Structure 1
Amino acid sequence: MNMTSLPRPKTSPSAPVREVAMAILGCVPLGSMLQLVAGGIWKDPAFENLRKFTVTIAEEVHRLQQRDSSFDLEEVLSRDETQPLLTRAFDAAARSFGERKLEALRNATVQGVFERQYSFDMSAMVFTLLDRITEGHLVILQAIFNAEAQRRPALTDHEVALVGFEPQRLPKSPEGQKAVHASINQTMSLNELILDDLKNMGLVEVKGDRPTGIVAPSATGPTNIQFRNRLSKKGRLLYEHIFLI
């Protein structure tokens, strides 16, 4: 499950997928089921997310059934820990915005609940973190991971602030230039706030590179040391739950 756009659910899922979806929904508290039903009566912002999330989870679990003849969906759904995890996943999906966020929740649900690659406590922590983070958090986490995976120098704070920028030609008019610069500054400020939040959650940590010269204290920190952002152990655990490495 690579981080690609979630496929649009089919208007009418196949019979096997419908059976899997209904079995999963039968394990979810009534609140989430009511939201799915209510979506057919009035327009609920959570309805489309829950519908898409339910169908894509069911499709992945159906594929798992086809790949692994020993997989027993009934046994998985009967486990004591399954309902609490699915409750967190569906609640987070109902409040989420963006394709990346929904796909991250899907991956965490399939790996943490159905494939059971992680313990209950680890999966519960992942869902708690996912409920808090946004698409912007996911973009920056992936950028930091990619830098490390490609053995490039990890990203500095300034490089993280520029994540997502595309080169663009400035308008000729002063007003247009001012508007573009204001947009850039706003995006950089948001990236800086997201990076601070990732650090506060313990998902990203700052480490200094090897000194390039004599190290001495200064008003802005040690001289001749470049500090860079890296995924912490907790951040890597989250990444492994929501991205396919």
Structure 2
Amino acid sequence: MLAGVVAAIAATTLAVIVADSDDRASGIVVPVPDSTESSGLPAPSLTATEVAATELTVVMPSAAAPPETYQQPVHSAQQQAPASRVTNPTPTTNSPPPQPPTGQEPVPARFDPSASFRIVNHVNSLALDSGGWVQPGTAMKLWESGSPSTNLQFQLVETGGGYYRLVNRTNGLAVDGRAANTAGSWVGQRWWDASPALQWMPVEVGNGLFTLTNRATGFLLDGAGRGTQMGAPAKQWPPTGSQNQLWRIVRV
């Protein structure tokens, strides 16, 4: 009887040990005799030989296959497109960048044909003067620019191509280059007849200053310099770059 009790205790202890190991080693199955507390029946009497003959079956899991490498799924929205290389276009030639056109005619100024203007020399501050009621062919002269006389006032009436006729407000005569080809020749006045000699191109050169170029000869209206006295004739010269050829066109 004592031997049976000892054998039952040994079997129970082994079951507890194996069950405890199950927490650390999954897959081991150990059959454990029913407890007398749950069945209400006395524990079976086993001899030592019967205990030894009892097979304890332990089911071990088969060799586990090596875990597969986990790959993070890539969603289509997260797929990276190959980085595109941004390159600057290579010029096919070594030509310089475009430059503004040169050698073009300067753009002439525009004037109100109904207004009156004084034409004042930049160097001596004398103004172009018709001399009043004079005969056609009379020389234009230079006079003190502060005079209010209409002898010193002109209408600038456009004739086309940037050219104007300069019409005196007193006598109605137009400033005449006389088709003179001699540098330093005097400037006259006569009735308008559409002759190129009666047409002048005012071109602004900066700071409110103008040159006045005759259409027939290409000569510029010239104030004859600083020492010119009032009443001296106005002149014309080829372009020289002299300030004597610069004028202010002042609206009255």
Q: Under a length normalisation based on structure 1, what TM-score does the superposition of the two structures give?
A: 0.20
Work out which of the two has the higher radius of gyration on C-alpha atoms and give 1 or 2: 2
Structure with the higher strand share, 1 or 2: 2
More helix by proportion, 1 or 2? 1
Query: Which structure is higher in RCO with an 8 Å CA cutoff and minimum separation 6?
Result: 1
